[in-house]
Amino acid sequence: MKKLVMGNFKMNGDFAMIDTYGDTLLQLQDEKGPWTHDLILFPPTPYLNELQIILWETDIAIGAQDCSPHGGQGALTGEVSASFIKDMGCTHVLVGHSERRHKIHESNETVIEKLKRVAEEGLTPVLCIGETKEEYEQQLTLDRLHEQLKDLPDVEMVIAYEPVWAIGTGLTASTDLIAERLSQIKAMLKEGTPVLYGGSVTPDNAAEILALSEVDGVLVGGASLKAEQIDKIARS
């Protein structure tokens, strides 16, 4: 079954990397044919257009890693409105990634405002949720997830469950834990909302994670920085 494979480059890359990455994906598509899963890539905002132009004739969609909680246009220096992201031809926007929640101190309220702006533009928000290591150890995971999922507007969205302790650490959650958490999360959501897993997904563990019936896809950070690796994951 076709699932979603999302690649989050985070604050990485430059024009040379983006050009090589895009060309490699085109070559891999020529050699191996279309990808098994739907591939969506999230480069840094300044490179959205570059990657989009290279991959124009593929089925790969492009999304942004963040946007302003304010909509439309106006006197807000430095802000990137969801309407700009739409204008660039993107289809998805990540909101509430744990690095923004924890390192940039983005509140749940701000995250929800961003999610609304994305949906208002007809784009798909990918809402990232997940507990910290401390919350996990103190068995506060479900409390945290409930808090992050409360006050959600009634709009189409994708949820990405990413335990903070599994992000960039090589500590992937076990398949049993992923299956259990995703069922618990789905019980808190409108029926049919896709839920992804993220946290140290690699070409080596993607197949068993994507095979879980509870999993609608994966959000990949570090391993998405090499075109050959995201290609393998999207063919798992």
Instruction: Annotate each residue in 131-170 with x if it binds ligand PGA (CB under 6 A) or - if it does not, as one string.
Output: -------------------------------x----xx--
Of 72, 82, 77, 95, whose CA–CA distance to 48 is shortest? 82
Task: Write out the binding residues for ligand PGA, residues 187-206 only, by CB under 6 A.
Answer: 198-201
Tell the smallest beta-carbon distance from residue 59 to ligand PGA (Å).
Answer: 22
Q: Which of 125, 130, 163, 221 binds ligand PGA (CB under 6 A)?
A: 221
At 133, the amino acid letter reads: K
Q: Which of 3, 4, 5, 8 binds ligand PGA (CB under 6 A)?
A: 8
Residue that is written with structure tokens 């070559």 in the block: 27
- Contacts of residue 56, defined as CB under 8 A and 6 or more positions apart, other chains included, come to none
**162 carries an active-site annotation:** yes
CA distance linking residue 188 with residue 191, whole number of Å: 9
Q: Which of 64, 158, 219, 227 binds ligand PGA (CB under 6 A)?
A: 219
CB-wise, 185 or 219, nearer to ligand PGA?
219
Tell me which of 97, 99, 106, 135 is the catalytic residue.
Answer: 97
CA distance linking residue 205 with residue 232, whole number of Å: 11
Q: How far is CA 140 from CA 22, 96, 144, 176, in A?
A: 41, 19, 6, 18
Residue numbers annotated as active site: 97, 162
Binding site for ligand PGA (CB under 6 A): 8, 162, 167-168, 198-201, 219-223
